[in-house]
Amino acid sequence: LTACPGADPRVDVRVGSIADPSFVASVVGDRIDGVFHLAAVLSGQSEAEFDAGMRINFDATRGLLDACRALGTRPRFVFTSSIAVFGGPLPEIVPEDMALRPQSSYGAEKAMAELLVSDYSRRGFVDGVACRLPTIAVRPGAPNSALSSFVSGIIREPVAGIEAICPVPLDTRIWISSPEVVTKNLLHAGSMATTALDVRRAINLPGLSVTPAEMLASLERIAGAAARARVRSEPDHRLMRVVCTWPAAFDVSRARQLGFSQDTDVDAIVRQFVSDASRGAVGGGASGKVS
């Protein structure tokens, strides 16, 4: 673990493991007003390393909640959950109160943690909001262990002049949101009045239902045919067994009523990333350069 580069001088950066109770206790001090819990072992690693996923995604989440509980001040607790909590037979548009039937260890860990956030909120230990994040695209930096990492990769890498692989059928529908909108929505979750949530502490964040084919068509429109040509299809059946169980469209009417934001269209997402990359504001794959 390393400190975040270029941190704002107003930010006190502390580096440690969320699975270390003494470190968590040192961070969750008497003066905090809230916690944004983003730490996680992602979907690919959770499938490959069951114990690591459970230790970080569930056990450490409970430890963090207990540290907040010990404060006695009912701090706001924003938990980043996932659409991977859903699975199995699903309607075309998934309602927020759909039964949770995760088809991966990652989804199961997130679903269990959602229940913890809900119960700790019911008991008055924290004031929790569980945000079910769409797949974030286009995510800057290097690929990560998420099974959905390719969703950003098929845009990010070609823009940087690097070849990329799409491991799922091009007509696979995926629920996505841009980093800018997801960040805005997490901040909203940290400041909104939670009285309207009642007992329903989990929220399906707004997103767009798109296919890789639609994303690549947008890439060609905005970055050119050469960028599109850098992406090839190469099915990964192990990955498809998980990713293709994820729902691809959600009823987000409640989230919109609560003031959460939504991306306009896939072109706006790709255009923003290409613009940021051209200014050197993002890491483009391995090079950070735009070709």
| Helix, strand, coil fractions of the chain, as percent rounded to 5 | 45, 15, 45
Q: In angstroms, how far is CA 158 from the centroid of its own chain?
A: 22
Tokens of 148: 């959905």
HSE toward the beta carbon, residue 117, CA cutoff 13 A: 31
Tokens of 236: 């990964």
Q: What angle do CA 50, 13, 65 make, to 5 degrees?
A: 50
Q: Which residues contact residue 238 at a Cβ distance below 8 angstroms, ignoring those fewer than 6 apart? A: none
Write out the catalytic residue numbers. Answer: 106
Give the integer Cα–Cα distance in Å for 87 and 106: 12
Give the integer Cα–Cα distance in Å for 261 and 129: 16
Give the integer Cα–Cα distance in Å for 186 and 198: 19
Q: What angle do CA 27, 145, 229 make, to 5 degrees?
A: 135
Angle at which helices 105-122 and 60-71 pack, to 10 degrees?
10
142 touches 160 (CB < 8 A): no
Give the integer Cα–Cα distance in Å for 209 and 214: 10
End-to-end CA distance of the chain: 31
Give the integer Cα–Cα distance in Å for 242 and 245: 6
